[in-house]
Amino acid sequence: LAGGLGFLAANGVVDITDGGASYGNLDTSGSDLAGEAMFVAEYALAANKGLRLTAGWLLAKVARVDVGGRRATNEDGSDLALDYSGSTLRLGMIWRFGGGATARTAPVDVH
């Protein structure tokens, strides 16, 4: 079992067209905490390398987003949220250097 906490930032630029009005290059910003829990399995290919498979759940939701310096809302007036939550599956290669417990992985994420 493994898990982690982190910081999620959703920053960028959007172009919005609403009917005949166009609003271009509006800065977006939002941030929140994120967390992940997962099961980890490793399979040794040799003494210094192996495969790692992880499967878990990512909780990553930005509860409030600002667009053009103003709070973005849904049609009903509630805050616009960006939700990146969902199941995760990773497959990585492990290389051990110097015979110790230090491992380097190169994961490939599939959400």
Q: Which amino acid, 34? A: A
Distance CA 85, CA 69 (A): 25
Q: What is the CA radius of gyration of the chain?
A: 20
Extended beta strands in 30-85, E state: 31-46, 49-62, 66-67, 70-71, 82-83
Cross-strand partners of 43: 51
Task: Tell me the C-alpha distance between 54 and 2, whole Å.
Answer: 9
- Tell me the two tokens of residue 43: 């399979």
Supply the pLDDT for residue 96: 84
**C-alpha triplet 97, 52, 39: angle, nearest 5°:** 130
At 78, is the pLDDT very low, low, confident or very high (cuts 50, 70, 90)?
Answer: very high
Mean pLDDT, residues 47-69 taken together: 92
Instruction: Name 53's Cβ contacts closer than 8 Å, sequence gap at least 6.
Output: 40, 41, 42, 43, 89, 90, 91, 92
pLDDT > 70 in the chain, percent? 88
What would the two tokens of residue 27 be?
A: 């800065």
